[in-house]
Structure formats: C-alpha cells, structure tokens
Amino acid sequence: MTADPTSPLAAWTDRLTFAPALIASERPFLSQLTVRVSDPDAVAALGSALGVVFPSVPCTFTTGSGPFGAVEVLWLGPDEFLVVAAPDLQLPIEDALRAVPFKGSVVDTSAQRTTLVLEGSHVRDVLAHGCSVDLHPSSAPVGTCVQTLLARTGIILQVTGPDRFTILVRSSFAQYLAAWLSDACVEYGAVP
Amino acid sequence: MNYRTPTGGAIDRNTVLRFTFNGQSYTGHPGDTLASALLANGVHEVGSSVKLGRPRGIVAAGSEDPTSLVQIEAPFPEPMLLATTVELYDGLVARGLAGQGRLANEPDPARYDAKHEHCDVLVVGAGPAGLVAALTAARSGARVVLVDEQNQAGGALLGVDEYLDDRPSAEWVADVVAELKSTPGVLVLERTTAFGMYQDGFVLALQKRTDHLGFAAPASVARQRVWRIRTRQTVLATGAHERPVVFADNDRPGIMLASSARTFRHRYGVLPGSRAVVFTTNDSAYCAAIDLAESGVDIPLIVDARASAPSRLATECAARGIEVRAGHVVTGTEGSGRVTDVHVAPLGSGHADTVVCDTLLVSGGWNPVVSLFSQARGKLRYDSELGAFVPGEELETVRVAGSATGELDLTACARQGRNAGAAAAIAAGFTPSGQVPLPTSDSRCTARSGLVLWRVPGAEDSSFVDLQRDATVSDVLRATGAGLRSLEHIKRYTTIGTAHDQGKTSGMIAAGIVAEALGVELADQRPTTFRPPYTSVSFAALAGRDRGELHDPVRVTAIHPWHVEHGALFEDVGQWKRPWYYPQPGEDLHAAVLRECQATRESVGMMDGSTLGKIDLQGSDAGKFLDMLYTNMMSTLKVGKIRYGVMCGVDGMVIDDGTVIRVGEERYLVTTTTGNAAKILDWMEEWLQTEWPHLDVHCTSVTEHWATIPLVGPRSRDVLAAVAPSLDVSNEAFEFMTWHDTEVAGVPARVCRISFSGELAYEINVTAWHGLAVWEALMAAGAVYGITPYGTETMHVLRAEKGYPIIGQETDATVTPQDLGMSWAVSKKKPDFIGKRSFARAENNRTDRKQLVGLLPVDPSVLLPEGSQIVETDRLPEPPVRMLGHVTSSYPSAALGRTFALALVRSGHERIGETLYVPVDDSLVPVTVTDSVLYDKEGARRDG
C-alpha cells in the first residue's frame, strides 16, 4: 500500500491555460531545500557540492549542473537560499549539503511551495495587475528572483525568459493564486 | 429650445444619443457630457441644494464643478457623479440630486482592477505644458507615463478656438500625442485622474475605461482601473481652475464660470443661454464674451470690477455692441429657478441697475491646481497678484509647470513644461535630445492678472461660498466671530471644502474672506491641507479584483478536497478553511458534534491538523533560544521526546502555545497555533535579529511542507498499527510525548504521540503531497472501528473537557500562565526567559486575578452563552454590578452527559465549589465553580 502524491494544483490541471493571455503550468513535486548560510567559504563549498555557484547578487538566481542534474539556487535573503532540483532528489541533496561542515541550516521544504511556469505575450501585463515589482526587462532581466506579493499571496518570482516567469507559491495559497490568475487573464481575452 | 450651435465642437453630430434626465427624454451626441447635453437642451437646473433645497445648476465644465451632482440609474445605479464628467451614452438614465445619492442594492456586474506601472518621468496633465514636458522626456529615452483626466489631450486648449503656429490647436495636440504614442516606453493614459500623490514617487490614478460606453461596455474589460504608479520624477502640469466671485444670490442656475461657458461653446458646440451678462475681475472673461457674442449670444453688458477696462478688449467689445461698465460689480440676482435679472452697481456704493438675462458668466481669476503638489508635501506660497496659493518651493523629484504655477501665457507655460520635462529626464539619468519647439497662440486675451476680489458686499445669508455645502459668507463670519482663526478650524466649522469637489472653487475664496474678516494677510495664513483623493473614487474601484471569492485568499490544506466531498461545513480560522463538523443527513451542529465526540472517545476519530504552524529550528544555540522563548525548559529535552510549552510576551501574558519536538542534538521542530504561525515566526526572527544576533539558530517555516493528521481515541493504536506495519506501536516502545520516523501507508512519516483530548492519540505528519492519500488510507484502515472524521468544533469540546485552553479563546493578552493554572509550565530554575521579569510584578501576584476554572450549570441542560458575564449573587444588586469574569468556552458534552463551560473568574482557583450566577436573558443561571479539568482527571485514558 503506497499512497500516491497529489499536487496543490491537481484540481486545476486542465484549467491552467489562460490563452491567449498566457499559459500557466504547474511543475509539481520539485525538490526544494531552504539553506541558511552566511560564511562565503561555506557558500562556495555548498555550491561545489551541487555543481552550481550560489547567487552572490541579491534578487537573482543561478543555475548549474552537477551530481543532481540541473539545479537552481534562488537568492531569498542575505543568508537565505532556496535550492530547486528535479523531483525525488531532496533526500540525497540534503545529505550532500549536510556533508559540508558549516554553520547554518538545511531544511527540506519541497512541499511547502508549488511551482507555476507562466509564459505568453501578456504575462507581464497580468503580473502587473497584482505585483508591485517593476518587471520591465530593463529592471528585471532574465535571472531576476524576488520575494514579493502577487495579489494577496506571497510568492517567489523568477524571470526565466523574455516572456517567461516561474512563480513559487505556498501550497495553501496555490488555488487562490490560480483563481486570481484566471480572473486577471479575462481582460486579455481568456475565457473564465 | 435648442442651444446647440450649427457647427463646431468635438462632437459627432451625425450620431444621436438618447438619454433620460429627471424623467424627461433628451438627445445629445457622442462627445457630449451629460452637462453639455443638458445645456444643449436648455436645461440648467440639475438638482437642489443639500440643506436649503435651493435650485442649483451647472457652474463649471469639468471636475471642479461644485453643483451638478447626479444619480445614474441605468445602466447601473451609481451615486454622486458630476454631470460635467459623465460622458454621454445612449440609454443613460440619470436624475439630479440634493447632495446625496443612493448605492445599488444589487451587486455591481462590472469588473474593476488595479495595475502597477513604473516610469522614470510621470507627467500629470496633457495640456500644453504637460504635452511638451512629456515629449521632452520621451525624446530623451526615459520611460514616461502621461495621465490626463479628459477623454482627449489638450487641457485648456479644448475649451478655446485658438490657433497655434497658424494651425488649429487640435492639430498641434494630435501631433504631439501621436509622437508620444509611437515612442517605445511611453504610456499615455486618457480618462485617468491622478488622485493621490504619496512618498517616494508613488502616485495613484483612476482610469475610467468603459464608463463612457454605457450599455455597450464589454463585460470582460475592467470598467475602472486604479493605476499604482511608481515614478522617479514627476512633472505636475495640472492647470488652473477659474474661481467665481461671491455675491448675493450667486447660486442660481444659469450662473456659470466664464471660461466654462467658453468650453461648452468650443468643445461641445453648446451655448449657455440667449442673453448673458458677464461679471469679471480680469481679462479672460472678455474672450468668453466675444466668442459667445460671435456665436449669437446676446451680451448686453460686461461688468468689470476694475477701475478701468482693458482698452483693446473694450474696443473689440464696443465693435460688437457689448457695453463694458468698469468699476462695477454684480450685487445680486433674481429668478424663481434660473437667473432672470442681475443687479449691477458701482463697486463701493451707488445706484444699482437691473439687467435682464438668462445667463450670468463670472470670472474672479484663476487658482492654480496645487492639490498633488501639496500632497507631495510641497509648500505653498500666496501670490497676491493672482490671489491664489501657488507652489512655493522646488521639490527634489516633483516639478510644476504651466498654469499650475500661476503662469497664464501659453508659450510661457509650454516653456515651463519643456524645462521641467528636461530637468526630470536629466534627474532620472537621461539626456534630452534637442529642444521641442514651443507653440505660439493667436489668442487676443493678454495674459495679465486682474483685481483680487473675493466677494461683493451684500446679503450675507444668501452669498454662497461653498454651493455644495450651502455654506455662506454668514457661516464664515460666524466662525471668525466665534474666535476661530485657523483655516483648518473654519473649514470644519463651516464644512466649506468638504464636499465632493473638495473646495476646488470655494477654498481660496473662503480663505480670502477669512483674511478680510480677521484683518490679516493671506500670506500669513496657512492654507488647508490638500488630501487624496483629488476627485471621488468609488469603493468598487479601490476594491478592484479583491471581492467575492478573491476578497481574501482562502487557504486550504492538501486534504481539503476530501472534506468538501464528505459534506464538511467549514470554519474560517485566519485565512484557512478548516472543517468545522461533518453533519450526517438530518444532523445539526450539536447532534454532529456529540456524535463525533462520542465516536472519538469510545473508538477512534481523526481530524485535519495541517494548519498548525510548524517551524524548524537548527543551530548550536537552538536549545538556548527556545529556553528564552518558552516559559519552561526546552534545552533539557532529549532527542526523540516532545514537550508542551507556553510562550509569553515581555509583559508575561500568554501569546501562544504548542509542542516542541527535539529532532536532533541541534535541531527542533516547534508547533504554533494555526492563527499565530506567521506571528510567532516573526517573533522569533525579531529576537534573533535585534536582541540575540550572536545566537547560532536559524528558523524556517515548514507549516505547509507537512500534512498533519491527529488520530485520536482508544482504537487509534490499532488503526496506526494497520497502516504502519514497521512501527512498534506498543505503549512501551512508543511512549507518550515521544516521536518516531516510520512509514505510514507506504510513505515516510513522522508520528508523534501527543494528545489534545486526553485520549490515546497520535499525530501523523507526512509531506503535504501525501496528505490526501494517507488520510484516505487511515479512513480505510479505521473503517472496522467506525473511524469518524471530526472538525474544529469537536476538537474544541474534547480539549475543553480536559481543561486545555485555546490561546485566543481562553486568553485575551491579559492572561498569564499562572492564571491558566499552568504554573507547572513556568520554570523556576531558568535565569531568564521572555516574560519572567513581569511575573514578579505586584499586579501579576494579586490573588483576585481572573483565573481559568470550569463551570457546571446547576441545571445540566442549560448551555451558557460564550461571553456571558459572571456575578456573585442570585439577584442583581443596584448598578454598578461587580463582574467576576466571563465564560470563555461552553459546550454540551457527550462524555459528561451534560453541559459545561470554561471561564475566567476573579480568584477562580479559590472559588472552586462555590455557586456563582450567570445572567442569561432575564434570569440568573446558577453555576458551580469546578476545576478546569472535567473529564478523566487522573489521565487514565492517555495510554489507551
């Protein structure tokens, strides 16, 4: 008897296409680990363990590849990072990080948030209805990563392409966010 | 009568719009406002005044109008709109108001939204100064936003027939707008009023996007939008409002600002009447008089308060048969509704003439629109030549250009715009390229200010200062007579400037009359504060998308779909939806809860506890940190064990409680109450970041990583054994207040043996992804025992029977752990912890503090209302009655076979056994005070 996992937006699986405004898709079950560390040497060592250089510039994210495949590291604060990798790697990644001696913490927060990819010509318009961060490419180029509010829920926002964003949202807020997106896309021709 | 001119105006004469006003059918054209369409039909009387019921008309052509408030009835009821700002559409139904409208009874079907916008340079106002400023900034490559409240750019040019550089001004405007709109990074927002200016370049603007489409407005498009603009630099080109002069009976319909009449003529092709007297203190009204005379309006007389009339304009008037009487003023008017006569007399004293007319046009000079500048904390200065407050200083990020500075000449206004636009662009880091050419006007009206005249002496009771508030010169003099000197006080005493128009035409005059009455200089008076919003903003627009199901985020757990499917009713706990109870057919709350309680105490029940706050703490000082946060000792907890803990604020009052799990030597997991999860994480971070940064501890929220399922009741061990075959569930191997990592239903789980009911109980934690499946597995495994899902109500009853307090229900920030009977949870050994110092205060040690006790109504069927007061005697004495405390929780109990309650009672612990009384309706219900633990005092059920 093994219980099957259910993603926070399972109920929205077939309803996340808000064409022609934008297309949203959930990337469920990603491995996510919250790392708190401030010593630069430790930061470098943790990065080496994963094959990725941790971001040193605030409000950015980095990508790399190593023993756990493609890994992203998101800057969340002066000593706080979120490591994101493919599903089912949270335990080995946690072990690999713990193998590095450092002062700080590593916490498996994989199910704390789910991940939505938004892409389409109106994605900036739709986000601008609920997000006060300036997402103009001159201000938020690809590689930007900020913690902010979208409508009335906290999110982590990554700029991953010219018209492509990744949003990490707390699992309990995910359905609210999907409902909000659905409503905000009506203005751009999506059928509610 | 038709007052539409044969030609002219930015209206589409080929299309006829039908509308209804005050029950009468009329027609107008696209491009009209409701006001211009009414005037075209000869209708001046729009409504009546709020206090006195006097007829009122249309004073101005724009948002400064003090009087033309209407109620829209169709397509959707909307109160308190100005006829001068309602764009006409087919099928509009409206009526005039006496100051107050009505809100719709039904929900508004329109959509509303908000949008954030960022720019380098924001320009407010698309008149000549704003257009040149925006173009200058745009050509520098800056991101520019230009907002303007009209449906088309042009500002004051819309109301005149001037030529700029030998072309109609509309062509110059169209060229500039076309270039702006085709420049990347420029956003031009029409029908958009910047109504609030805040710190750090934050500006709110309301865009009316589909109001003008009426019934044809597409349902998918937001009707109104609040733009939340963040800009680095701002140019305010907000223009100026003409102000009237106050005289006796100055409020009759047909009395209008001169420039507004000119606007109605040129923008809408509408004449204000057949025969108009003009009363002015400056040159600008001459242009209105000449324009209207050329359009066929009989202008018998211009009354100029100045000692001598401007000779060139007077000559032009004479050529058109218009008499100019300098040194004269209007002293009063006649008319049962609309004005029929005006009285004209020499300024000072002398014989008054009466002149017959149907319109009186007034100009008392110009007030720069300084609202946003003032909101931005810019200081104002009184300009005695203009008789107005003007921007009195330069601000770092806000520049003012055009007639908003008091400048009256078009080319000079445009030059100010160019300079401000360039300076703003430079300040934002851009380099202006070349110079935008400045337009030159052919206007015959020289730009020179006139005589400052606030009022003509006369009947003070009918000399209206604020037409919307029915506030007169008498009211102002009554205020100064009562000793008020500050304009702020006089504003509140008289209500002048507090209506929808915020005193746009009345505020300056009121200040002038006050200064005269007090014999002080206006330069020494502080103007009243300008506050947002500049024009009225509906609550629907401010709410935007945050209504209905999106009003507040609804947080749900991973198991939520199951609860919905199984008929749970939900309770809102913070933003969470928690199952309240699961009624079976025919059951009400009491029946369902009694069943759920009984099933849990007698066999097994379970609930969704996923909303509990969970915080992971790691670091070599984690134990030390927890010792400071909780009243009891946590660092001595052994790995694998769990301890209950209470947290207090610095005042020693309980703020939260929960369990602490020692996960490893340097790692703990603590739980918080559902509603306090974020607050406690903030509390921890605040102490770590501000007081104890030296501690090696990191806190991470894992609330939503885990789904948490309490499995409760004597058969819970059997159910757990069935789903966790690798776990030794025996009492010896799995003791109370310990935890084990294992697999439940095949997925990794952390199982804690804790109990919030007194029963044998386990708390099963799996990742949120697996919560639903594990819940279903537990339901299946427990079916043989009649496993019963229960909600928050049953949880409350089960814990209350055991006397366990709920923080926020039994406590209210005035309750100590000792008050709750939890002295056992307050360490005597620890040298310090948050709240410890306060426990030594005399107040904390009073024996008559309110303490948590149980109450048993003498009649076991009586349910005490929660919140009831508690008194000492079986009869109420004369007031004041001494209140001993109040009921905090009250339930019927299946286990006790009766009702019971928890209460905070003065000296409660000493009163156990006493009979007290609870007023319920008209009777006093006797209750027996008991220990707060009412069920299984000896704890025999804990181990199953």
With a cut of 90, say whether residue B511 has pLDDT above it. Answer: yes
- The predicted-structure confidence for B259-287, as pLDDT tens digits, reads as follows 999 999 999 999 999 999 999 999 999 99
Do B834 and B649 form a contact (C-beta atoms < 8 A)? Answer: yes
Claim to verify: residue B233 and residue B355 sit in the same structural domain: no
Residue where a domain terminates, one of A61, A91, A108 = A108
Do B910 and B821 form a contact (C-beta atoms < 8 A)? Answer: no
Report how far residue B132's alpha carbon sits from residue B422's, in angstroms, rounded to the nearest whole number.
10
Report how far residue B232's alpha carbon sits from residue B143's, in angstroms, rounded to the nearest whole number.
10
> If you compute the radius of gyration of chain A from its CA atoms, what whole number of angstroms results?
17
Do B117 and B227 form a contact (C-beta atoms < 8 A)? Answer: yes
With a cut of 80, say whether residue A88 has pLDDT above it. Answer: yes
Claim to verify: residue A123 and residue A62 sit in the same structural domain: no
Do B427 and B399 form a contact (C-beta atoms < 8 A)? Answer: no
On whether residue B544 sits in a domain, the answer given is no
Alpha helix positions (H), B228-360: 258-268, 284-294, 311-319
Bridging pattern class, strands B323-326 and B298-304? parallel
Question: What is the overall mean pLDDT for chain B?
Answer: 96
- The predicted-structure confidence for B196-255, as pLDDT tens digits, reads as follows 999 999 999 999 999 999 999 999 999 999 999 999 999 999 999 999 999 999 999 999
What is the number of structural domains in chain B? 6
Average pLDDT estimate for B833-856: 95
Name the residue with tokens 């912890």.
B833
On whether residue B168 sits in a domain, the answer given is yes
Overall size of chain B counted in residues:
944
On whether residue A104 sits in a domain, the answer given is yes
The kind and range of the H/E element at B923 are: strand B923-930
Residue of A nearest to B777 (CA): A3
- Residues forming beta bridges with residue B645, ordered by sequence position: B658
Average pLDDT estimate for B764-785: 98
Report how far residue B379's alpha carbon sits from residue A178's, in angstroms, rounded to the nearest whole number.
46
Q: Which residues of A touch B704 (CB under 8 A)?
A: 111-113, 170-172
Residue where a domain terminates, one of A86, A108, A130 = A108
On whether residue A102 sits in a domain, the answer given is yes
Asked whether the beta carbons of residue A110 and residue B619 sit closer than 8 angstroms, the reply is no
Question: Which among A6, A105, A132 has CB closest to B228?
Answer: A132
Average pLDDT estimate for B527-551: 94
At residue B867, the 3 state secondary structure works out as coil
Please state, in angstroms and as integers, the Cα–Cα distance from residue B317 to each residue in A38, B258, B287, B823, following that order.
Answer: 82, 16, 10, 95
Claim to verify: residue A90 and residue A120 sit in the same structural domain: no
Claim to verify: residue A18 and residue A41 sit in the same structural domain: no
Distance from CA of A132 to the nearest CA of B (A): 6
Claim to verify: residue B573 and residue B717 sit in the same structural domain: yes
- A110 has a chain B CB within 8 A of its CB: yes
Percent of chain A beyond pLDDT 90? 95
Q: How far is CA B866 from the centre of its chain?
A: 33
Average pLDDT estimate for B576-603: 97
Claim to verify: residue A103 and residue A120 sit in the same structural domain: no
Domain assignment of residue A169, given as a range: 11-29+112-186
Question: Which among B554, B618, B769 has CB closest to A176?
Answer: B554
On whether residue B642 sits in a domain, the answer given is yes
Suggest the residue from B700, B750, B778 to mutate for an interface test with chain A (most A CBs closer than 10 A). Answer: B700
Question: Which among B557, B619, B777 has CB closest to A1?
Answer: B777
Claim to verify: residue A17 and residue A51 sit in the same structural domain: no
- Provide the 8-state DSSP code for B4: B
On whether residue B839 sits in a domain, the answer given is no
Name the residue with tokens 């032009």.
B316
Residue B529 is predicted with a pLDDT of 87
Suggest the residue from B111, B113, B118 to mutate for an interface test with chain A (most A CBs closer than 10 A). Answer: B118
Claim to verify: residue B313 and residue B210 sit in the same structural domain: no
Asked whether the beta carbons of residue B556 and residue A172 sit closer than 8 angstroms, the reply is yes
Band of the pLDDT at B293, cuts 50, 70, 90?
very high
Residue B446 is predicted with a pLDDT of 65
Claim to verify: residue B576 and residue B693 sit in the same structural domain: no
Strands (E), chain A: 17-18, 22-27, 31-37, 61-66, 69-77, 80-85, 104-108, 113-119, 145-150, 153-161, 164-170
- Residues forming beta bridges with residue B194, ordered by sequence position: B205
Claim to verify: residue A22 and residue A56 sit in the same structural domain: no
At residue B341, the 3 state secondary structure works out as strand
On whether residue A150 sits in a domain, the answer given is yes
With a cut of 70, say whether residue B50 has pLDDT above it. Answer: yes
Claim to verify: residue A35 and residue A89 sit in the same structural domain: yes
Claim to verify: residue A47 and residue A140 sit in the same structural domain: no
With a cut of 80, say whether residue A2 has pLDDT above it. Answer: no
Domain assignment of residue B429, given as a range: 110-241+366-445
Suggest the residue from A114, A171, A175 to mutate for an interface test with chain B (most B CBs closer than 10 A). Answer: A171
Distance from CA of B324 to the nearest CA of A (A): 57
Residue B498 backbone class (left: φ over 0; alpha: ψ -120 to 50; beta: rest): alpha
On whether residue B480 sits in a domain, the answer given is yes
Residue of B nearest to A191 (CA): B220
Distance from CA of B232 to the nearest CA of A (A): 12
Claim to verify: residue B255 and residue B315 sit in the same structural domain: yes
Residue where a domain terminates, one of B342, B363, B384 = B363
Residue where a domain terminates, one of B701, B716, B731 = B701
Asked whether the beta carbons of residue A128 and residue B116 sit closer than 8 angstroms, the reply is yes
On whether residue A69 sits in a domain, the answer given is yes
Report how far residue B166's alpha carbon sits from residue B169's, in angstroms, rounded to the nearest whole number.
9
On whether residue A6 sits in a domain, the answer given is no
As a 3-state breakdown, chain A gives helix, strand, coil percent values, each rounded to 5, of 25, 40, 35
For B35-53, the DSSP string reads HHHHHHTT----EE-TTT-
Strands (E), B132-274: 144-147, 163-164, 167-168, 186-189, 192-197, 202-208, 224-236, 240-242, 255-257
Q: Which residues of A touch B741 (CB under 8 A)?
A: none
Distance from CA of A166 to the nearest CA of B (A): 19
Claim to verify: residue A121 and residue A81 sit in the same structural domain: no
Report how far residue B233's alpha carbon sits from residue B469's, in angstroms, rounded to the nearest whole number.
37
Give the domain CATH number at A56: 3.30.70.1520
Residue where a domain terminates, one of B498, B524, B550 = B524
With a cut of 60, say whether residue A1 has pLDDT above it. Answer: no
Please state, in angstroms and as integers, the Cα–Cα distance from residue A149 to each residue in A128, A133, A173, A180, B569, following that order.
Answer: 11, 9, 12, 13, 30
Claim to verify: residue B892 and residue B935 sit in the same structural domain: yes
With a cut of 80, say whether residue A192 has pLDDT above it. Answer: no
Asked whether the beta carbons of residue B702 and residue A183 sit closer than 8 angstroms, the reply is no
Claim to verify: residue A80 and residue A19 sit in the same structural domain: no
Highest averaged pLDDT of the listed ranges B103-107, B188-192, B436-440: B188-192
Q: Which residues of B touch A11 (CB under 8 A)?
A: 561
Give the domain CATH number at B43: 3.50.50.60
Give the domain CATH number at B475: 1.10.10
On whether residue B533 sits in a domain, the answer given is no
On whether residue B532 sits in a domain, the answer given is no
Do B561 and A174 form a contact (C-beta atoms < 8 A)? Answer: no
For B342-356, the DSSP string reads EEEEESSS-PPEEEE
SS (H, E, C) B667-701: EEEEEECHHHHHHHHHHHHHHHHHHCCCCCCEEEE
- Provide the 8-state DSSP code for B864: P
Band of the pLDDT at B443, cuts 50, 70, 90?
confident
On whether residue B542 sits in a domain, the answer given is no
What is the number of structural domains in chain A? 2
Asked whether the beta carbons of residue A171 and residue B747 sit closer than 8 angstroms, the reply is no
Band of the pLDDT at B902, cuts 50, 70, 90?
very high
Residue B525 is predicted with a pLDDT of 87
Put simply, the chain A residues between 120 and 139 with a CB less than 8 A from any chain B CB are: 125, 128-134, 136, 139
Residue where a domain terminates, one of A88, A108, A128 = A108
Claim to verify: residue A38 and residue A63 sit in the same structural domain: yes
- Provide the 8-state DSSP code for B871: B
Question: Which among B113, B576, B771 has CB closest to A129?
Answer: B113
At residue A46, the 3 state secondary structure works out as helix
Asked whether the beta carbons of residue B111 and residue A186 sit closer than 8 angstroms, the reply is yes
Asked whether the beta carbons of residue B553 and residue A176 sit closer than 8 angstroms, the reply is yes
Q: Which residues of B touch A101 (CB under 8 A)?
A: none
For chain A, counts of helices (H) and of strands (E) = 4, 11
Asked whether the beta carbons of residue B773 and residue A5 sit closer than 8 angstroms, the reply is yes
For chain B, counts of helices (H) and of strands (E) = 19, 49
Residue B447 is predicted with a pLDDT of 59
Overall size of chain A counted in residues:
192
Claim to verify: residue A72 and residue A116 sit in the same structural domain: no
Asked whether the beta carbons of residue A173 and residue B555 sit closer than 8 angstroms, the reply is yes
Average pLDDT estimate for A140-163: 97
Residue of B nearest to A133 (CA): B116
Claim to verify: residue B395 and residue B472 sit in the same structural domain: no
Bridging pattern class, strands A145-150 and A69-77? unpaired
Residue of A nearest to B551 (CA): A152
Q: Which residues of B touch A186 (CB under 8 A)?
A: 111, 220
Percent of chain B beyond pLDDT 70? 100
- A113 has a chain B CB within 8 A of its CB: yes
- Provide the 8-state DSSP code for B825: G
Percent of chain B beyond pLDDT 90? 96
Give the domain CATH number at B782: 3.30.1360.120
Average pLDDT estimate for B441-468: 89
- The predicted-structure confidence for B344-375, as pLDDT tens digits, reads as follows 999 988 899 999 999 999 999 999 999 999 99
Claim to verify: residue B346 and residue B481 sit in the same structural domain: no
Distance from CA of B627 to the nearest CA of A (A): 20
Average pLDDT estimate for B112-125: 98
Q: Which residues of A touch B769 (CB under 8 A)?
A: 5-7, 28-29, 111
With a cut of 90, say whether residue A155 has pLDDT above it. Answer: yes
SS (H, E, C) B70-126: EEEEECCCEEEEECCCCECCCCEEEEECCCCCCCCCCCCCCCEEEEEEEEEEEEECC
Report how far residue B405's alpha carbon sits from residue B392's, in angstroms, rounded to the nearest whole number.
9
Give the domain CATH number at B638: 3.30.70.1400
The pair phi, psi for residue B440, each rounded to 5°, is: -120, 135
Say what the ipTM of the complex is: 0.97
Give the domain CATH number at A181: 3.30.1360.120
Average pLDDT estimate for B586-595: 96
Residue B85 is predicted with a pLDDT of 97
As a whole number of angstroms, the longest Cα–Cα distance in chain A is 53
Q: Which residues of A touch B749 (CB under 8 A)?
A: none
Claim to verify: residue B394 and residue B346 sit in the same structural domain: no
Average pLDDT estimate for B407-429: 96
Put simply, the chain A residues between 29 and 48 with a CB less than 8 A from any chain B CB are: 29, 34, 36
Q: What residues contact residue B856 under an 8 Å CB cut-off, 6+ apart?
A: B898, B899, B900, B901, B927, B928, B930, B934
Encoded amino acid at B923, one letter: S
Give the domain CATH number at B876: 2.40.30.110
Distance from CA of A78 to the nearest CA of B (A): 12
Claim to verify: residue B770 and residue B673 sit in the same structural domain: no
Asked whether the beta carbons of residue A128 and residue B117 sit closer than 8 angstroms, the reply is yes
Asked whether the beta carbons of residue A152 and residue B553 sit closer than 8 angstroms, the reply is yes
Q: Which residues of B touch A134 (CB under 8 A)?
A: 116, 118, 230
Residue B1 is predicted with a pLDDT of 67
Band of the pLDDT at A74, cuts 50, 70, 90?
very high
SS (H, E, C) B581-635: ECCCCCCCHHHHHHHHHHHHHHCCEECCCCCCEEEEEECCCHHHHHHHHECCCCC
Residue of B nearest to A31 (CA): B705
Distance from CA of B678 to the nearest CA of A (A): 12
Claim to verify: residue B333 and residue B371 sit in the same structural domain: no
Report how far residue B638's alpha carbon sits from residue B641's, in angstroms, rounded to the nearest whole number.
6
On whether residue A3 sits in a domain, the answer given is no
Residue B624 is predicted with a pLDDT of 97
Q: Which of B233, B238, B240 lies closest to B136, judged by CA?
A: B233
Residue B445 is predicted with a pLDDT of 72
Put simply, the chain A residues between 139 and 178 with a CB less than 8 A from any chain B CB are: 139, 151-153, 170-173, 175-176
Q: Which residues of B touch A4 (CB under 8 A)?
A: 773
Chains A, B: CB pairs < 8 Å:
136
Claim to verify: residue B648 and residue B720 sit in the same structural domain: no
Suggest the residue from A94, A155, A172 to mutate for an interface test with chain B (most B CBs closer than 10 A). Answer: A172
On whether residue A1 sits in a domain, the answer given is no
